[in-house]
Amino acid sequence: MTPEQYLAMERSAEFKSEYFDGQVYAMAGGTYPHATILTNVSGELRQALKQKPCTVTSSEARLRVSPGGLYTYPDVMVVCGEAKFAADQTDTLLNPTLIVEVLSPSTEANDRGFKFGQYRKLESLRTYVLVSSSEPLVEKFDRQGETWVFSESVGLDAVCRFESLDCQILLPDIYHRVTFSEANPVR
């Protein structure tokens, strides 16, 4: 399937799917904790960036990493400055500054490996964030030249700083109303 065929199908589809290198992949539904964390992260980023020229989007916004490569729906994206889109429609974003993926057991390996490898190709991307849904843990990768620098915020008393956006979010706000199982106690 070509990217054009995928986009035509996706624009009229009832359910979202991702595209990579000619193949279409159905997206799985999320859990209540995943959705809660995603909404909390979006809301906190929006509030923190309200006075800045940045826009926060949810997983309804599609991202094109490369013309023939990956088309996907990150959990949260932030665009600072003017948003750029593929073709003549405003449904496929090209230039996120920050991408957040909320991890789940079924997507974690893909988010850490394949997707991060693809996302690093985006010249606009400054920060990639992985948010655990099983414990209060935010892992962050910041672009510094050609290198990606790792840091993490752990525990419900921690703060996650987003230098690329000049803002921060408290982990208790990211995990507001999220309950962790006894198998995954709070660190």
Q: Tens digits of per-residue pLDDT, 80-113? A: 999 999 987 788 999 999 999 999 988 899 999 9
> Residue 25: is it exposed, middle or buried by C-beta count within 10 angstroms (0-12/13-18/19+)?
exposed
The answer on pLDDT for 182 being more than 90 is no
Q: What percent of the chain has pLDDT over 70?
A: 97
Q: What six digits make up the tokens of 8?
A: 């035509």
Q: Thinking of the domain 30-174, which architecture would CATH place it in?
A: Alpha-Beta Complex (3.90)
Q: Tens digits of per-residue pLDDT, 34-59? A: 999 999 999 999 999 999 999 999 88
Question: Lowest mean pLDDT: which of 14-18, 116-120, 177-181?
Answer: 14-18
Phi and psi, residue 5, nearest 5°: -65, -40
Q: Residue ranges of the domains in the chain?
A: 30-174
Cβ atoms of 53 and 37 closer than 8 Å = no
